[in-house]
Amino acid sequence: MTQEKNLKRRLTLLISTLSMIGPFTIDTYLPSFESMEQDFGVSRALMTQTLGGYLIAFAFATLIWGAITDRIGRKPVILLALGSYLLASIGCAFADNYEHFLLFRILQGLGIGGSLIAGRSMVRDQLETQDAQKVMAQAMILFAAAPAIAPLVGGWLHDAFGWRSVFWFLAFYAFALSLFTLWNIPESLQYKKRNSIHILKVLKVYSATLRNQHYLRLVFILAFAFSSFFLYVAGAPTLLFNILKFQPDQFYILFIPVVSGIMIGAFISARLIKRLNNAQMINLFLSLMLIIALLNFLLTQLLHASIYSLLIPLIFYSTCLAAIMPIFSILIIDCFPDNRGSAAAMQSFIQMGFNGLSVSFIVALLGPHPENFAGAQVILVGLAFVLWRLDRLW
């Protein structure tokens, strides 16, 4: 029993710290946007594309990493992904123009894509459904701290040492996490369960995921629901700098309350898992998300933009989103119990690809108008809600 508890703690810490790389990679350099725009001589739209490029590269890389993790195991993929990410982060720190920086941002996405896939698969390899959902929920409590910590760390590093120090920090984080994985995490994929990496067999597995209607509905529900929140994260420089006239060191005013909502939602999820079934949990919180989004849109029509009108709906919204994310994560990979790495990879490809397209195109179109962000949120969570109700009927 003690060994099992220790394993759960280590897996929780692993999946939390691996998940935190995403928010760190996205949020730590947001306070540096204006400075980097000046150094590279580019517009806000082009700087935003460095975020979109990272996300799209991450999405495509997961398809490759997913097949590899089902073949060579979870631990080697985590170490390879972290090593690649480390080198790309150093490249970002040394970039002397926008084109080089964008290239290394893309390489960051290509490198790190496999770590979360392998970590999520590792959790499901070793734990039963409820235990796995609980570990994912507990991990989200720690993971939720990242979007609050990242802008603070990024703002402090930017003010003290310049924007390049942000990427040295990311490189060090990857190095420390590599050591933790190497020394503390055992391999979870049994040799007899390893799959062929032959291209035709890999394509057959991915083809099966794309033909599974239930799997695709679950993946797109989560993709729409998460993107409806992520629009505000990606649009933070516009919302804070252009609308609210904040300074780089004031990013925490947005992120700390929102992250508190995520932590509360993850805590609620971990507590309710044994009291409500998955369908009841999703029905409850997805309905609340739609109601909150509609109220948020109404507020933007009635009130002038302020930190309060922006924050209060977003806090409640993030709480509900965090409550259902661990459930969807396990439901999705359970659709293919013999190919969990590939199932998680296709999910990440679709979700991160959609986020990348949203950042590259939708956020730029929204402009400095809070009502546009609120309207886009209503549309996306509305699509998630409709798709969920259809899935229940089918």
Q: What is the pLDDT along the chain (394 residues), one digit of tens a residue?
A: 466 677 777 877 888 888 888 888 988 898 888 899 999 999 888 888 898 888 888 888 888 887 788 778 788 888 999 999 999 999 999 999 999 999 999 999 988 877 877 877 787 777 776 777 777 776 766 666 676 678 788 888 998 999 999 999 999 999 999 999 888 877 766 666 666 555 677 778 888 888 999 999 999 999 999 888 888 877 777 777 777 777 666 666 777 787 788 888 878 887 887 788 889 999 999 999 999 999 999 998 888 878 788 888 989 999 999 899 888 888 898 888 877 777 877 888 888 778 777 766 777 777 778 888 899 999 999 999 999 999 887 7
What proportions of the chain, in percent to the nearest 5, are helix, strand and coil? Answer: 85, 0, 15
Q: By the 8 A CB rule, do 317 and 24 touch?
A: no
Q: By the 8 A CB rule, do 75 and 178 touch?
A: no
State whether residue 137 is helix, strand or coil.
helix
How far apart are alpha carbons 38 and 110 in whole angstroms? 27
pTM of the predicted model, to two decimals? 0.70
User: Which numeric CATH code is attached to 2-393?
Assistant: 1.20.1250.20
Q: What are phi and psi of 301, to 5 degrees?
A: -85, -25
Q: State the pLDDT at residue 5.
A: 73
Scan for tokens 């703690």, then name that residue. Answer: 9
Each domain of the chain, given as residue ranges in start order, spans: 2-393
Q: State the pLDDT at residue 2.
A: 66
pLDDT per residue over 251-293, tens digit each?
A: 667 777 877 888 888 788 878 877 888 899 999 999 999 999 9
Scan for tokens 């969920």, then name that residue. Answer: 388
Cβ neighbours of 231 (radius 10 Å)? 23
Q: State the pLDDT at residue 142.
A: 65
How far apart are alpha carbons 197 and 347 in whole angstroms? 19
Q: State the pLDDT at residue 231.
A: 83
How far apart are alpha carbons 343 and 333 in whole angstroms? 5
Q: How far is CA 391 from the centre of its chain?
A: 24
How far apart are alpha carbons 372 and 391 in whole angstroms? 29
Q: State the pLDDT at residue 263.
A: 80
Q: State the pLDDT at residue 204.
A: 84
